[in-house]
Amino acid sequence: MNYKELALKLKTEKLVPGHRSCSGCGFPQIVRAVLASTDKPLIAASATGCLEVTTTIYPFTSWNIPFIHSAFENSAATISGVEAAYNALKRRGKIKNDIQFVAFGGDGGTYDIGLQSLSGALERGHDFLYVCYDNEAYMNTGIQRSSATPYGASTTTAPAGKKIPGKQEFRKDFAKICVAHNIPYVAQASLSNIIDLTNKAQKAFSIKGPKVLLVLQPCTLGWKYPMDKTVEIAKLAVETKFWPLYEVENGKYKLTYKPAKDVPVIEFLKTQGRFKHLLKPENQHIVDKIQENVNSEWDKLVKLSE
């Protein structure tokens, strides 16, 4: 454990134990790391989803800070309203403290249902951090595909069968959609690298204006793997370049981690039941297509970062 990890460990927990998340779930670590990345008072909002339903089962809560549950589609609108009210009260001298604001949502409540809400909040320029814990499907409601679900993955609404081998579309590049709003900070992070995640969250909290942090969070239920493999699989996603770690500050791209060697994407795919059909010889062309896409997107990112 290095000094930074020790410092994080010694901080007062803002998301305390006792929640009902699945064994092996990654979002508690993600949320704790983000919340520990600022020493200022925090107000959090969360869209309906795995995070909300497992941490706020009445009459209990795991949130050790002020927390607002919003509907599935409007976490960003909720927190932007709170931030606007705070600014109004501060102008009147009724609040003296500097307070920061963070909203959480899964990929369903971010890429899809909540896109309009988040886009509006980013365009209006509210001072808040939006964190998407991306488990690549609607895990809380039955493992339905979302626009974050990877090409070839099997879900309950895009199941792998004899005619259609899983989802037929590549995932939405949500980070670039956020960058297109001309906001000051967007970053991709992973559960497998908590220090990189913390560095990005600290930078985000230090910047005035809207910020977005996309964090890969493997789901033991939806991705179909043993509960003790979450961090290992998240790391494989990064090492295979399936999930690059980078940030975009004021439009300037920067890779924050470059794998030391080329690891084929099949090493990531074969760890999960949602891709098991791709291991059949007749589906090798799908694996090849995924690898081509990974290579192409990585090359684009390297050029943008030069």
The predicted-structure confidence for 233-255, as pLDDT tens digits, reads as follows 999 999 999 999 999 999 999 99
- pLDDT for 180 equals 98
**What is the structure's pLDDT at 304?**
97
Which domains are assigned to the chain? 3-305 (3.40.50.970)
pLDDT digits (tens, 9 = 90+) for 73-88: 999 999 999 999 999 9
Q: What pLDDT, on the 0 to 100 scale, is given for residue 11? A: 66
Strands 129-134 and 100-106: parallel
Q: What's the predicted TM-score (pTM) here?
A: 0.94
What is the CB neighbour count within 10 angstroms for residue 40? 9
- Its sign, for the CA torsion 228, 231, 233, 234, is positive
Between CA 181 and CA 165 the distance in angstroms is 35
Spatial contact of 55 and 16, defined as CB atoms under 8 Å apart: no
Query: Average pLDDT of each block of 10 consecutive residues along the chain (306 residues)?
Result: 56 85 90 95 94 90 94 95 97 95 96 96 98 96 97 97 94 97 98 96 98 97 96 98 98 97 98 97 97 98 96
